[in-house]
Amino acid sequence: MKEFSRLDRIADQMQRELAVMIQREIKDPRLDAMITVSGVKVSKDLGYADVYVTVLGKEDKPEVIKENMAILKQAAGFLRGRIGQSIKLRVVPQLRFHFDESVQRGQQLSSLIERAVAEDRNRNKGSDEE
């Protein structure tokens, strides 16, 4: 069980470090959307880390998301080097970026629920007036 808690601590620290680095150190002008690191999962052997990000920008268009993910993948080596400097690890995991759709899905579900509640309210008003 101890091994998992160490991996969790490494993942948490990587998540915090990457969130700051992505905002402050990637100087790509195309990276205009707000990128949030929503989670990091580190493999048991520290060979790789799956980094889950959300892209919250002016628009959640698939092409904007795709472009931002490509920029992050290009910057993975740079970010890995910076992680190696800030976190003292013998082995620094390879970074694999993934788009986390859960936030977007949550927003869609939330708006569907709000719409259903509003429609229910309107139906109830209509039946009260009869």
Collect all residues with Cβ–Cβ distance below 8 Å to 85 and sequence separation of at least 6. none
Same domain, 35 and 8: yes
Same domain, 129 and 93: no
Q: pLDDT 10s digit of each residue in the chain, 130 long?
A: 455 588 999 999 999 999 999 989 888 888 866 888 999 999 999 999 999 998 876 556 788 888 899 999 999 999 999 999 999 888 899 999 999 888 778 878 898 999 999 999 888 887 665 5
pLDDT, tens digit, for every residue of 46-60?
999 999 998 876 556
CATH number of the domain that 18 lies in? 3.30.300.20
Domain of 60 in residue numbering reads as 2-99
Same domain, 59 and 110: no
Same domain, 80 and 127: no
Same domain, 92 and 122: no
Q: For residue 59, how far is the Cα from the chain centroid?
A: 16
Same domain, 68 and 36: yes
Matching residue, tokens 């969130």:
19
Total tally of structural domains belonging to the chain: 2
